[in-house]
Chain A
Amino acid sequence: EIVMTQSPATLSVSPGERATLSCRASQSVSSNLAWYQQKPGQAPRLLIYGASTRATGIPARFSGSGSGAEFTLTIGSLQSEDFAVYYCQQYGAWPPAWTFGQGTKVEIK
Protein backbone atom coordinates (compact mmCIF):
# COMPACT_ATOMS: atom_id res chain seq x y z
CA GLU A 1 0.00 0.00 0.00
CA ILE A 2 1.24 3.47 -0.86
CA VAL A 3 1.32 5.60 2.29
CA MET A 4 0.66 9.33 1.94
CA THR A 5 2.09 11.65 4.59
CA GLN A 6 0.98 15.26 4.86
CA SER A 7 2.71 18.06 6.73
CA PRO A 8 2.15 19.98 8.82
CA ALA A 9 -0.86 18.54 10.64
CA THR A 10 -2.06 22.06 11.41
CA LEU A 11 -1.12 25.32 9.71
CA SER A 12 -1.99 28.66 11.33
CA VAL A 13 -2.20 31.43 8.76
CA SER A 14 -3.54 34.98 8.74
CA PRO A 15 -6.06 35.98 6.06
CA GLY A 16 -4.27 37.30 2.99
CA GLU A 17 -1.12 35.28 3.65
CA ARG A 18 0.17 32.38 1.57
CA ALA A 19 -0.21 28.80 2.75
CA THR A 20 2.01 25.93 1.64
CA LEU A 21 0.94 22.34 2.31
CA SER A 22 3.11 19.28 1.65
CA CYS A 23 2.31 15.70 0.72
CA ARG A 24 4.79 12.87 0.40
CA ALA A 25 4.18 9.41 -1.04
CA SER A 26 6.02 6.29 0.15
CA GLN A 27 6.81 5.51 -3.51
CA SER A 28 6.45 7.30 -6.80
CA VAL A 29 2.89 7.95 -7.98
CA SER A 30 4.01 9.94 -11.03
CA SER A 31 1.53 12.82 -11.34
CA ASN A 32 -1.42 10.76 -10.10
CA LEU A 33 -2.13 13.05 -7.18
CA ALA A 34 -5.26 14.97 -6.20
CA TRP A 35 -6.03 17.54 -3.51
CA TYR A 36 -9.38 17.96 -1.76
CA GLN A 37 -10.81 20.58 0.56
CA GLN A 38 -13.24 19.61 3.31
CA LYS A 39 -15.19 21.96 5.56
CA PRO A 40 -16.96 20.80 8.73
CA GLY A 41 -20.11 18.83 8.01
CA GLN A 42 -19.49 18.84 4.27
CA ALA A 43 -18.26 16.35 1.71
CA PRO A 44 -14.76 16.79 0.30
CA ARG A 45 -14.42 18.96 -2.81
CA LEU A 46 -11.89 18.31 -5.56
CA LEU A 47 -9.39 21.15 -5.94
CA ILE A 48 -6.48 19.77 -7.97
CA TYR A 49 -5.89 16.63 -10.04
CA GLY A 50 -2.94 15.42 -12.06
CA ALA A 51 -0.80 17.13 -9.37
CA SER A 52 -1.27 20.57 -10.91
CA THR A 53 -4.58 20.91 -12.82
CA ARG A 54 -7.28 22.94 -11.12
CA ALA A 55 -10.72 21.37 -11.11
CA THR A 56 -13.65 23.21 -12.63
CA GLY A 57 -14.55 26.38 -10.75
CA ILE A 58 -11.51 26.38 -8.44
CA PRO A 59 -9.99 29.84 -7.98
CA ALA A 60 -6.55 30.57 -9.38
CA ARG A 61 -5.14 31.19 -5.89
CA PHE A 62 -5.03 27.39 -5.51
CA SER A 63 -2.06 25.79 -7.23
CA GLY A 64 -0.47 22.36 -7.11
CA SER A 65 3.02 21.23 -7.99
CA GLY A 66 5.31 18.24 -7.79
CA SER A 67 5.66 14.78 -9.26
CA GLY A 68 7.00 11.40 -8.24
CA ALA A 69 6.73 11.35 -4.46
CA GLU A 70 6.79 15.02 -3.38
CA PHE A 71 3.86 17.36 -3.85
CA THR A 72 2.80 20.81 -2.73
CA LEU A 73 -0.51 22.66 -2.56
CA THR A 74 -0.18 26.43 -2.38
CA ILE A 75 -2.99 28.81 -1.52
CA GLY A 76 -1.82 32.18 -2.77
CA SER A 77 -3.74 34.58 -0.54
CA LEU A 78 -5.96 32.98 2.05
CA GLN A 79 -9.59 34.00 2.05
CA SER A 80 -11.96 33.35 4.95
CA GLU A 81 -13.64 30.53 3.03
CA ASP A 82 -10.30 28.69 2.64
CA PHE A 83 -9.98 27.71 6.28
CA ALA A 84 -10.64 23.99 6.14
CA VAL A 85 -8.95 20.58 6.11
CA TYR A 86 -7.01 19.61 2.99
CA TYR A 87 -6.30 16.04 1.90
CA CYS A 88 -4.00 14.68 -0.75
CA GLN A 89 -4.83 11.41 -2.51
CA GLN A 90 -2.82 9.18 -4.79
CA TYR A 91 -4.37 7.17 -7.59
CA GLY A 92 -1.23 5.73 -9.14
CA ALA A 93 -1.16 2.31 -7.52
CA TRP A 94 -1.81 -0.95 -9.36
CA PRO A 95 -3.94 -2.87 -8.61
CA PRO A 96 -6.02 0.15 -7.70
CA ALA A 97 -5.87 1.06 -4.02
CA TRP A 98 -6.51 4.72 -3.54
CA THR A 99 -4.97 6.21 -0.41
CA PHE A 100 -5.31 9.58 1.29
CA GLY A 101 -3.01 11.59 3.47
CA GLN A 102 -4.13 12.20 7.04
CA GLY A 103 -5.01 15.81 6.27
CA THR A 104 -3.72 19.31 7.03
CA LYS A 105 -5.98 21.66 8.92
CA VAL A 106 -5.58 25.29 7.86
CA GLU A 107 -6.76 27.50 10.69
CA ILE A 108 -6.98 31.22 11.28
CA LYS A 109 -3.95 32.67 13.05
Chain B
Amino acid sequence: EVQLVESGGGLVKPGGSLRLSCAASGFSFSSYSMNWVRQAPGKGLEWVSSISPTGSFIYYADSLKGRFTISRDNAKNSLYLQMNSLRAEDTAVYYCAREPSGSYYDSWGQGTLVTVSS
Protein backbone atom coordinates (compact mmCIF):
# COMPACT_ATOMS: atom_id res chain seq x y z
CA GLU B 1 0.00 0.00 0.00
CA VAL B 2 1.29 3.43 -0.96
CA GLN B 3 1.84 5.64 2.08
CA LEU B 4 2.97 9.25 2.26
CA VAL B 5 3.41 10.77 5.70
CA GLU B 6 4.22 14.46 6.09
CA SER B 7 5.80 16.00 9.16
CA GLY B 8 7.51 19.16 10.29
CA GLY B 9 4.61 21.59 10.28
CA GLY B 10 3.89 23.95 13.14
CA LEU B 11 3.71 27.56 14.25
CA VAL B 12 6.43 29.89 13.01
CA LYS B 13 6.86 33.65 13.14
CA PRO B 14 6.87 35.78 9.97
CA GLY B 15 10.34 35.75 8.44
CA GLY B 16 11.11 32.38 9.99
CA SER B 17 12.01 29.06 8.41
CA LEU B 18 10.62 25.54 8.49
CA ARG B 19 11.56 22.24 6.89
CA LEU B 20 8.83 19.81 5.93
CA SER B 21 9.44 16.11 5.36
CA CYS B 22 7.44 13.42 3.59
CA ALA B 23 8.22 9.77 4.29
CA ALA B 24 7.21 7.42 1.49
CA SER B 25 6.60 3.69 1.62
CA GLY B 26 4.88 0.94 -0.34
CA PHE B 27 6.30 1.83 -3.75
CA SER B 28 9.56 2.45 -5.57
CA PHE B 29 10.13 6.03 -4.44
CA SER B 30 13.08 6.63 -6.76
CA SER B 31 10.89 5.93 -9.81
CA TYR B 32 8.42 8.77 -9.26
CA SER B 33 8.38 12.53 -9.46
CA MET B 34 7.11 14.05 -6.24
CA ASN B 35 5.31 17.29 -5.51
CA TRP B 36 4.25 19.63 -2.74
CA VAL B 37 0.74 21.08 -2.92
CA ARG B 38 -0.73 23.44 -0.36
CA GLN B 39 -4.18 24.51 0.74
CA ALA B 40 -4.81 27.65 2.74
CA PRO B 41 -7.61 27.40 5.32
CA GLY B 42 -10.97 27.29 3.55
CA LYS B 43 -9.33 27.76 0.14
CA GLY B 44 -8.49 25.67 -2.90
CA LEU B 45 -5.44 23.68 -3.89
CA GLU B 46 -2.20 25.36 -5.01
CA TRP B 47 0.77 23.57 -6.55
CA VAL B 48 4.04 24.52 -4.84
CA SER B 49 6.90 22.51 -6.32
CA SER B 50 7.87 19.37 -8.23
CA ILE B 51 11.04 17.27 -8.32
CA SER B 52 11.89 14.54 -10.84
CA PRO B 53 12.84 10.98 -9.77
CA THR B 54 16.58 11.67 -9.66
CA GLY B 55 16.25 15.30 -8.61
CA SER B 56 17.60 16.53 -11.94
CA PHE B 57 14.53 18.58 -12.77
CA ILE B 58 12.92 20.92 -10.26
CA TYR B 59 10.06 23.33 -10.76
CA TYR B 60 8.44 25.94 -8.52
CA ALA B 61 5.31 28.04 -8.59
CA ASP B 62 6.21 31.59 -9.66
CA SER B 63 4.51 32.98 -6.54
CA LEU B 64 7.19 31.51 -4.26
CA LYS B 65 9.92 33.83 -5.59
CA GLY B 66 12.84 31.65 -4.56
CA ARG B 67 11.88 31.27 -0.89
CA PHE B 68 11.22 27.52 -0.99
CA THR B 69 13.59 24.66 -1.91
CA ILE B 70 12.46 21.13 -2.72
CA SER B 71 14.79 18.17 -2.37
CA ARG B 72 14.71 14.40 -1.98
CA ASP B 73 16.78 11.56 -0.59
CA ASN B 74 16.01 8.38 -2.50
CA ALA B 75 18.11 6.29 -0.09
CA LYS B 76 15.78 7.38 2.71
CA ASN B 77 12.58 7.39 0.63
CA SER B 78 12.02 10.96 1.70
CA LEU B 79 10.93 14.26 0.19
CA TYR B 80 11.66 17.65 1.73
CA LEU B 81 10.56 21.26 1.48
CA GLN B 82 12.75 23.96 2.99
CA MET B 83 10.68 27.09 3.50
CA ASN B 84 12.42 30.41 4.25
CA SER B 85 11.23 33.98 4.75
CA LEU B 86 7.80 32.71 5.65
CA ARG B 87 4.80 35.02 5.38
CA ALA B 88 1.28 34.95 6.77
CA GLU B 89 0.01 33.96 3.32
CA ASP B 90 2.09 30.76 3.46
CA THR B 91 -0.24 29.48 6.19
CA ALA B 92 -1.71 26.27 4.79
CA VAL B 93 -1.88 22.53 4.96
CA TYR B 94 1.03 21.20 2.92
CA TYR B 95 0.53 17.89 1.12
CA CYS B 96 3.10 15.73 -0.58
CA ALA B 97 1.81 13.95 -3.65
CA ARG B 98 3.12 11.26 -5.97
CA GLU B 99 3.22 12.10 -9.65
CA PRO B 100 3.50 9.53 -12.43
CA SER B 101 5.94 11.58 -14.50
CA GLY B 102 4.65 14.87 -15.87
CA SER B 103 1.09 14.25 -14.94
CA TYR B 104 -1.57 14.06 -12.25
CA TYR B 105 -1.22 13.09 -8.58
CA ASP B 106 -2.27 9.54 -7.83
CA SER B 107 -1.45 9.41 -4.12
CA TRP B 108 -1.48 12.09 -1.44
CA GLY B 109 -0.32 12.29 2.16
CA GLN B 110 -2.60 13.45 4.95
CA GLY B 111 -0.95 16.87 5.08
CA THR B 112 0.90 18.92 7.68
CA LEU B 113 -0.31 22.32 8.88
CA VAL B 114 2.02 25.31 8.71
CA THR B 115 0.87 28.43 10.55
CA VAL B 116 2.80 31.67 10.11
CA SER B 117 1.83 34.13 12.80
CA SER B 118 3.42 36.43 15.36
Given contacts A34-B105, A91-B102, 15 further A-B contacts (CB under 8 A): A34-B104, A36-B45, A43-B108, A43-B110, A44-B95, A49-B104, A49-B106, A55-B106, A96-B50, A96-B59, A97-B59, A97-B61, A97-B62, A102-B44, A103-B45
Count of A-B contacts with CB under 8 A? Answer: 55
Q: How distant is the Cα of A92 from the Cα of B44 in the complex, in angstroms?
A: 20
Beta-carbon contacts under 8 Å, A59-104 to B: 87, 89, 91, 95-103
In the complex, B73 has a CB within 8 A of chain A? no
Q: How distant is the Cα of A34 from the Cα of B59 in the complex, in angstroms?
A: 20
Assess A32 versus B45: contact at CB under 8 Å? Given A43-B111, A44-B108, A97-B61.
Answer: no
In the complex, A39 has a CB within 8 A of chain B? no
Range for the number of chain B residues in contact with chain A:
20 to 34
Which B positions have Cβ atoms within 8 angstroms of A?
Answer: 35, 44-47, 50, 59, 61-62, 95, 102-111
In the complex, A18 has a CB within 8 A of chain B? no
Q: Which 8 A-B pairs have the closest CB atoms?
A: A34-B104, A43-B108, A98-B47, A49-B104, A100-B45, A96-B59, A102-B44, A103-B44
A48 to chain B: closest residue by CB:
B104
Which of B44, B62, B95, B110 meets A100, CB within 8 Å?
B44
Which A positions have Cβ atoms within 8 angstroms of B?
Answer: 1, 32, 34, 36, 38, 42-46, 49, 55, 87, 89, 91, 95-103
A49 to chain B: closest residue by CB:
B104
